[in-house]
Structure 1
Amino acid sequence: MSTVPRSWLLTLAALAALATLSTNILLPSLPLMAQALGHSEAAMTAVLSLFLAVFAVAQLIVGPLSDRVGRKPVVLGGLAIFIAGSAVGAMASDLPLLLAGRALQAMGAAAASVLARAAARDRFEGPQLAALLGRIMVVMAAAPGFSPLLGGLLQAALGWRAPFVLLVLAGLALTAAYAGIVGETLPAERRLRRPAGALARGYVVLLGDPRFMRPALATAAILGALFAFFGTAPLVLVREYRFSALQVGLFFATTVFVVFTAGRAAPHWAARWGGPAVLSVGAALASCGGLVMLTGGTLGLTSFAAAACIFLFGMGLVSPTGTALALTPFAAQAGQASALLGFLQMAAAAALTTAAAALPAARMDALALVLVGGGLLAWLACPARPSTTIAGAP
């Protein structure tokens, strides 16, 4: 198996991070958008919720489509749609036009995110697939860590439309990088020539296969908790610890190093002890992070930061390991399997983010309960039998 070229890795990682970048970079600008477009800040939550809804559904289409026609036309078409949506957002003069741009962004980002995972599965398996997914996951975690800081700086310097302009430029750069570096990863002889009705049957088969569903549900639960963390922790930091917007951005930026460490360790530990064992340990650690946050909140910022680091380290073990376990047995339908995995993740993100906002408790306690619950659900979903799938055993 060939070594993963750095340029290839960075391109796939950037594609995978496009969705979180295009969402979180706008967070500091929402109040100013509301003022400029004449709407309440509550109404502007549709800018986020619509994106997640369209993104979740679009994944179910682009994944199997790429299994049929190849990855390259779907990725490049998706990036063209993303660029168009970003341009519409940059020029929007009212909320409906802004939401139309966000819907187009979500469609395009879905193709990029799903097919980054599928392209990795096309080319690699075993320890290399786990290592590649771990590095991609680090960039995906860095996007929500750094993008609010970047978005705030752009807004302060150039106004609320500037982040959309940056996303146009990012889409153009990714188009050139994908076409020139990655290209087509699914040869014509491996493409699935199935009627449309077979797509639904393919999803039914995946939903009924524990080799896919158990690691997929574990990954979805833990990433759903991660979205809840990124959505709720800023409120905790501002209200409980009097952080400024810049300090919130810096806090999240530093958490990337925890995820990076876990992402580097996960494939090595999976090769040594097996993927399911690493998945279970990561889920348990994530839940423990929530327990520390729940029981140690009165100890102050140090306790909160420690709890966040424990959760993020556990998440960093679960995400690449679970993704590799879920995709490895399904090379012939990697696009469809990756699409369903992404859909489950977005559904979990919507559910757990809503739970963190709706629980009748202080924000820190609500977040802690969601982290405990997400980690526990991931632990319960972990494959029960020993497996050496990631290690490359037959």
Structure 2
Amino acid sequence: MLLLLVAMTGIAPISLYMLVPALPVLARTFGSDISIAQMTVSLFMVGLAFSQLIMGPLSDRFGRRPVLLAGLCLMVIAGIGGVFAETLPQLIAARFFQALGGATGMVMSRAIIRDLYPRHRVGAMISLVIAVMMIAQMLSPLAGGLLEIGFGWRSIFYVITAVSIVITLAIAVALPETRRFSERVAGGGFVADLKVLGNSRSFVGYLLCYVIASWIIFTFAGGGPYVVVNQMGRSGAEYGAWFVTSGFAYLVGNLFCVRLAPRHSIEQLIWFGLALQLVGALLNVVWGLTGLNQQPAWLFLTHMIVMFGNAFVMSNAAAGALSIRPQAAGSASGMMGFLQMGLGALCSQFGAWLGGHFQTAIPLNISLVVLSLGCAASMFFLIPRNGKVATAAMIEKAEGEETGLL
């Protein structure tokens, strides 16, 4: 089960990053500007966002397994389309549909974990899946670059399509349906689930905490290349080497979260991560004011503290949000993924603007402080601090009693 969850979670992100090293070759091959070739990445992210918003509610209604298999079959078909694409618009369209299908695994893995495990174990399981998946994700750009050099850019689509077929067959054979039929029949539909979840302050708090924490990653990833290459005068290869440290810290943070989860509550782990996130971001601002983080080592080694804490925040905030209304875990997971990826693309652009229009990294680091404070505010003002989180079932019961009295 763990291997299946890792595979379905990672296939879309790995497909995204594998093609990145080949973007300059795509631009030359099709005689287009690099900004047009970049659309194979940007529209892929748009597809990831909208797919999660659609597939999550569908899985609540029809079950995890059929929706997941349908999405992965779409990814296989789109991968074949990418192999035989003759123009860049055809390739961009294939990538968009590839993302629509692949994102099904991302949203479904979180929902399946919530189907199978109690609330206090969800965060640890999400961390474990992410930790294993991160290893493959960090290696995917290298794999894509080697494939492009050795066999041409189409070989990337051959490999992605072959892996997609293997994962689809494995899920068809080995993955049981985790959502009970009684829950599907009793479900109120996407609009009803959205209304109940939206009326839960706890859900909104966990959702905002998760989404804003993810924006920290997108913002720094967008501005980091400009800071290192333009402001510090380093090469793109050196930036890539330093950026691996961020992924490594996130990986280690998830592993520590798995270890600590049995002895601590979700809220305790989130606040621990929030403290590290804020301390790391503040240290980077201090280094910027003193001039120290004009060296990549100061910038990235301190950012590792941010990413280590970020792992605690995201996995446990996701666990909290999914546990508010377990029978609508697919819809909740879809909303999380949509806001994460959809607005994350804007945060990446904002980070690039901060890195490209200033002479120091201070504005970028201040934005990370603001985002860290936003995570903390969502927990402080919206999540009860008495240890009792109001679930959607409680809300529905209260509404029913109120209606009866009226």
TM-score calculated relative to the size of structure 1: 0.88
Identify if the C-alpha distance between structure 1 residues 203 and 283 changes in structure 2 by more than 3 Å, giving closer, same or farther.
same
Aligned position for 1:99: 92
The farther-off stretch of 289-298 and 108-117 is 289-298
Aligned position for 1:63: 56
What's the offset of the Cα at 1:252? 4.1
Aligned position for 1:229: 220
Cα distance in 2 for residues equivalent to 1:143 and 1:231: 21
Aligned position for 1:354: 349
What's the offset of the Cα at 1:256? 3.9
Q: Which amino acid aligns with 1:48?
A: V
**Partner of residue 196 from structure 2, selected from 205, 212, 217:** 205
TM-score calculated relative to the size of structure 2: 0.86
Cα deviation, 1:327-376, whole Å, max 9, x if unaligned, reads: 11221111111111111211331231121022332474454233223222
What's the offset of the Cα at 1:293? 2.8
Q: Which amino acid aligns with 2:10?
A: A
Secondary structure at the aligned position of 2:346 is classed as: helix
Secondary structure at the aligned position of 2:385 is classed as: coil
**Partner of residue 75 from structure 1, selected from 50, 56, 68:** 68
Identify if the C-alpha distance between structure 1 residues 386 and 87 changes in structure 2 by more than 3 Å, giving closer, same or farther.
farther
Aligned position for 1:385: 385
The percentage of counterpart residues that share the same residue type is: 31
- Larger Rg computed on CA atoms: 2
What's the offset of the Cα at 1:36? 0.9
Aligned position for 1:155: 148
Are 1:327 and 1:334, in contact at CA under 8 Å, matched by a contact in 2? Answer: yes
Question: Is 2:287 the partner of 1:292?
Answer: no
What's the offset of the Cα at 1:310? 0.7
**Partner of residue 123 from structure 2, selected from 130, 138, 159:** 130
Aligned position for 2:162: 169
**Partner of residue 7 from structure 2, selected from 14, 18, 39:** 14
Are 2:60 and 2:187, in contact at CA under 8 Å, matched by a contact in 1? Answer: no
Identify if the C-alpha distance between structure 1 residues 147 and 293 changes in structure 2 by more than 3 Å, giving closer, same or farther.
farther
Cα deviation, 1:268-307, whole Å, max 9, x if unaligned, reads: 5455443223212312322332333333254323212212
Aligned position for 1:280: 271
Unaligned runs of 5+ in 1: 1-7
Cα distance in 2 for residues equivalent to 1:313 and 1:26: 27
Secondary structure at the aligned position of 1:242 is classed as: coil
Aligned position for 1:108: 101
The farther-off stretch of 178-187 and 117-126 is 178-187
Alignment of structure 1 residues 173-252 onto 2, 5 Å: 173-192=166-185, 198-239=189-230, 240=232, 242-243=234-235, 245=237, 247-252=238-243
Q: Which amino acid aligns with 1:242?
A: R
Aligned position for 1:3: none
The farther-off stretch of 274-283 and 327-336 is 274-283
Cα deviation, 1:201-252, whole Å, max 9, x if unaligned, reads: 322322231221111111111112212333443444444363453x555444
Cα distance in 2 for residues equivalent to 1:388 and 1:263: 25
Cα distance in 2 for residues equivalent to 1:35 and 1:145: 26
Cα distance in 2 for residues equivalent to 1:95 and 1:220: 32
Are 1:134 and 1:267, in contact at CA under 8 Å, matched by a contact in 2? Answer: yes
Number of equivalences: 380
The farther-off stretch of 252-261 and 369-378 is 252-261
What's the offset of the Cα at 1:104? 0.7
Cα distance in 2 for residues equivalent to 1:200 and 1:29: 41
The farther-off stretch of 314-323 and 350-359 is 350-359
Alignment of structure 1 residues 366-385 onto 2, 5 Å: 366-382=363-379, 383-385=383-385
Q: Which amino acid aligns with 1:377?
A: G
Cα distance in 2 for residues equivalent to 1:137 and 1:249: 21
